Structure 1
Amino acid sequence: MNALTVVTALLSALSNATSLVLQRHASAGYELVPGQGARSTVKRLLLPLTRLMWWGGATATILSAAFQVIALDSGALSVVQPLLASELLFSLLLGALVFHHRPSGALWRAFVMLAAGLALFLVSASPSGGSDTSSAARWLAVGVVLAGVLAALVLIALRVHGTLRATVLGSATAVCFAATAALIKEVTARFSGGAEAVLTSWHIYAAAAVGLLSMLFLQWTLRAGSLTGSQPALTLGDAVLSIALGVFLFGESIELGWHILPELIGVGMMGYGVFGLTAIHGETSGAADWDET
């Protein structure tokens, strides 16, 4: 694995976690703006912008995107996206620091399980090789399949409720995130050709459109139910699907044979850690000393 890829992917996860925590902190502690009209809604949305911490979070978002682009430009999709799963543990640790909430033993255990599972999977799978671009035929096949999967997940989500809906929508969001990352990787391959090569490629516009769709699905997911329902499906779904896209689109390879057993153990440990972290978040996020100023 390329050291630059690993470092920048982790920095992307850390930056995005910083953004979430800082913007949450900037939004906390305000008295509710009365009223239900458009003016009251706009006031509620603009209030956090008066705090320097919100702008710090916005800067961190830009840094996260930049680090992800560098990571995808320098390494395999099947390495970068699994590493971004570390965002959740960074979010909880930074949240505990910012909101003066001492991390519990359960948090540390979940932290260790996620980190160890991620390391075990990446070392066992040893993603490598591949090209920076893919053929139009492969992209067409991927687009048709992913659109079909996404449509099916939406139809299911409209028919279920509660935790199950959150899980289904988390899976749908994972599809969008993985597709966006794959498209970004394709765009980075055109950087050497300059602005003209990038702007005349359909991939950059598809990446922008799917990225926007990802944000919309994420908001729908967050409103549908608890994080314990959505986050494992989102985090693990993004990682697993990105590996599949890396193999099919870019010819990346992972170790098989006896390596499959430790890979599955690593994924299981990651799942346990993600579930533990989201459960801890669900228990603590309502506590005044965790996420309120």
Structure 2
Amino acid sequence: MISVLFAILTALSNGAASVLQRRAALAVPDTQTMRLSLIGHLLRQKVWLAGIGLVIVAAVCQAVALATGPISVVQPIFVIELPATLLLAGFVMRVRVPRGVWYGVAAVTVGLALGMASAAPGGGSTSVHGAVWVPALIVTGIFEAALITGAMSTRGNPRAALLGLAAACGYSLTAALMKDAMGRLDDGGVTALMTSWQLYATAAAGVGALFLLQNALQAGTLVAVQPMLTLGDALISILYGVTLFGEELRTGWWLLPELVALFLIALGCIELARSPLASGHAAPPRRSTRVT
């Protein structure tokens, strides 16, 4: 299935991009933090430019995935991005991958496979018809406002979790808008795509989601943010797929294995988020020195 292949490529590209950008950032002096000169340092590093290239590759792959498959299939696959990032980080930074990371990778992988097999998402249209976007955007706005208001009334990990869920909603909305924009290619080609409001709304929603995520990461620990971000993105994307694009999922007794799948993914994300590789505190093994 083309959409599954490109969804996996998106997750792997994003994971590799994160690792390369992290490696480039480690070479920048602390004195450059929050300064425009930081960009100058990064631009001179091939590894950082390679990371930016992979970000572009990931965006193209996601567009292809959403254009060729249901959003309820594509977005949940992105849960493998965190496991892929940590495994690649361990390889690139030459550190031993802790046993807990392997357990987390196994839990996320098994959970994703079980969830996709149980839900069997599919069907639906390639674009949103009529004024269906109007109530969807209103409900999304109310939901986002409630999450942000709740986050501002608390601190620490509760705030991080609420903002993480708000960011997940933003990324899900971005994916839904991107899929609808790509669907315009079937109607009127490139001209229809470039003149569609969905294309520019995609960029706006993406920037907003990124802003919320940075605030979530600043407010609390990754353990509080990552499960909300990962599961929230998957579940809200499925909701958009069903309500906007008419996609279908299995229900009834299939809900039991689907809930088990969600539990495994959440457990895996928490375990991965606790890893030193996720916090950036992992250090490569020390090399022995010789005095000559």
Deviation (angstroms), 1:5 = 1.1
Deviation (angstroms), 1:32 = 2.2
- Aligned partner of 2:273 in structure 1 is 278
- Aligned partner of 1:183 in structure 2 is 177
> Structure 2 CA distance, aligned partners of 1:199 and 1:30?
38
> Structure 2 CA distance, aligned partners of 1:66 and 1:30?
29
Q: Give percent identity, aligned residues only.
A: 38
- Aligned partner of 1:165 in structure 2 is 159
- Aligned partner of 2:288 in structure 1 is none
> Structure 1 CA distance, aligned partners of 2:231 and 2:132?
24
Comparing 24-33 with 149-158, greater Cα deviation is found at 24-33
- Aligned partner of 2:39 in structure 1 is 45
Conservation of the 8 A alpha-carbon contact between 1:227 and 1:282: no
The question of 1:55 aligning with 2:53 is answered: no
Amino acid at match of 2:161: T
- Aligned partner of 1:221 in structure 2 is 216
Q: What secondary structure does 2:75 align onto?
A: helix
The question of 1:154 aligning with 2:152 is answered: no
Q: What secondary structure does 1:262 align onto?
A: helix
**CA-to-partner distance for each residue in 1:93-124, whole Å, 9 max, x for gaps?**
00001111111211111100000000000000
Q: Identify the match of residue 80 of structure 1 among 53, 74, 87.
A: 74
- Aligned partner of 2:236 in structure 1 is 241
The question of 1:8 aligning with 2:6 is answered: yes
Runs of 4+ in 1 over 6 A off after TM superposition: none
**CA-to-partner distance for each residue in 1:190-214, whole Å, 9 max, x for gaps?**
1232221112221111111111111
**CA-to-partner distance for each residue in 1:224-280, whole Å, 9 max, x for gaps?**
111101010011000000101100000000001111111111111111111111111
Q: Identify the match of residue 23 of structure 2 among 22, 25, 34.
A: 25
Conservation of the 8 A alpha-carbon contact between 2:28 and 2:38: no
- Aligned partner of 2:245 in structure 1 is 250
TM-score, normalisation: structure 2: 0.93
- Aligned partner of 2:202 in structure 1 is 207
Number of residue pairs matched?
284
The question of 1:139 aligning with 2:137 is answered: no
Q: Identify the match of residue 114 of structure 1 among 84, 95, 108.
A: 108
- Aligned partner of 2:225 in structure 1 is 230
> Structure 1 CA distance, aligned partners of 2:13 and 2:195?
30
Conservation of the 8 A alpha-carbon contact between 2:121 and 2:247: yes
> Structure 2 CA distance, aligned partners of 1:83 and 1:46?
35
> Structure 2 CA distance, aligned partners of 1:200 and 1:106?
48
TM-score, normalisation: structure 1: 0.93
- Aligned partner of 2:289 in structure 1 is none
User: 1:243/1:283 Cα in 2 relative to 1: closer, same or farther (>3 Å)?
Assistant: closer
Amino acid at match of 1:16: N
Conservation of the 8 A alpha-carbon contact between 1:228 and 1:282: no
Comparing 210-219 with 174-183, greater Cα deviation is found at 210-219
Deviation (angstroms), 1:160 = 0.9
5+ residue gaps in structure 2?
286-292
Comparing 205-214 with 71-80, greater Cα deviation is found at 205-214
Conservation of the 8 A alpha-carbon contact between 2:95 and 2:282: no
Deviation (angstroms), 1:289 = 2.5
Q: Identify the match of residue 257 of structure 2 among 255, 262, 269.
A: 262
> Structure 1 CA distance, aligned partners of 2:192 and 2:166?
31
- Aligned partner of 1:287 in structure 2 is 282
Conservation of the 8 A alpha-carbon contact between 1:134 and 1:250: yes
Comparing 58-67 with 130-139, greater Cα deviation is found at 130-139
CA RMSD of aligned residues (A): 1.6
